[in-house]
Amino acid sequence: MEEERALVEMGVEDFDLAGTLSCGQVFHWERRGAGWVGAMGDSAVYLEQKEAKLFLSAGEEDRVRNYLSLDHPWQTIRESFPSDPALDLAVEFCGGMRIIRQPSWECLATFITSSLKRVEQIGKISLRLRRSFGERLECIGGEVFSYPRAEKIAGLREEDLRACGLGFRAKSLLGSARMIAEGQVDLVKVRAMDDEGAMEELRRLPGVGEKVANCGLLFGFERLGAFPIDVWIERVLIEGYFSGESGVSRERLREFTRDYFGRFGGYAQQYLFHHARTTGVRIGRQG
């Protein structure tokens, strides 16, 4: 078919496309047939994996390689991990999953809208914002939409955002977009800061606390040592590393995760998160 010719093939090693796109680090990729469609920033692309081959929209090879972090040294990362029952299991389950390079604003904005929402809901909010206020793009799998720029959102009203299902998060997203549009926070400068400085700067934005800032740093600024602690990771840590002890303080968890998981701690975190969430380990809940 005519469309088939617009796909090119790329060899990949130690890579899992489905896991990478659906592990909860990015929320707007949609399944289309045997593959996925979505926007990498302002570029639409179709992606499909068959074993060690990746099929993608022609002309997007370099962007895809970069976006999917195919250059990350997966074996090195894996070997840098400590060995313990919880992490060993998660690494085996998540083999080939990459921390991708998301544009910093859309990553940060998406996580601002993530608080007290399930992963599926975060995706729906992202897609509604994109369809309502983003740019329409086309690729082989159909149409997709880019994430609206901070300047675009800054010009909207809170109720416009609430119409996309944001609830109380609308105020935070709007406030953050305005601070960035006005230049009060410069994400380009954040990129040049050290981890602590970047964290401090991001937390000036409304709706950005420690957890969201860490997600931003890990997924949007390639700080692979950042270790976001959410309710899932907290359970995993307490069950797997603190013998189920109750009342482990935030500070103790922070201190433990800062050194224990090594310089690629963010990778370990995402593997633990995805494994726990996917295998349905739910402590303190029935079912």
Partner DNA sequence: CTCCAGGTTCCGG
Partner DNA sequence: CCGGAACATGGA
Cα–Cα distance, 80 to 89 (Å, whole number): 15
Minimum Å distance from CB 129 to DNA?
13
Binding to DNA (CB under 7 A) within 16-75 occurs at 23-25
Distances (CA, A) of 21 to 25, 28, 29, 126, 272: 7, 9, 7, 14, 16
Whole-number Å distance between alpha carbons of 58 and 47:
11
Which region, judged by CB under 7 A, interacts with DNA, from 54-62, 69-77, 84-92, 243-251?
243-251
Q: Are 23 and 270 in contact (CB under 8 A)?
A: yes
Least Å from the CB of residue 269 to DNA: 6
Interface segment toward DNA; rule CB under 7 A; list 13-21, 42-50, 74-82, 163-171: 163-171
Binding mask 73-112 for DNA (x = CB under 7 A): ----------------------------------------
Tell the residue number behind the tokens 């709706």, with chain if given.
207
Q: How far apart are CA 233 and CA 260, in angstroms?
A: 14
Class of residue 129 by CB neighbours under 10 A (exposed 0-12, middle 13-18, buried 19+): buried
Please report, as residue ranges, which positions from 181 to 210 form the binding site for DNA (by CB under 7 A).
Answer: 203, 206-210
Q: Which of residues 114-133 bind DNA (CB under 7 A)?
A: 114-122, 124
Name the one range near DNA by CB under 7 A: 52-60, 73-81, 237-245, 246-254: 246-254
Which helix (DSSP H) or strand (DSSP E) does residue 195 occupy?
A: helix 195-202
Total residues binding DNA (CB under 7 A): 45
Assigned token pair, 273: 């998160």
Footprint of DNA (CB under 7 A)? 23-25, 114-122, 124, 162, 165-168, 171-172, 203, 206-213, 215, 228-233, 247, 249-251, 269-270, 273, 277, 285
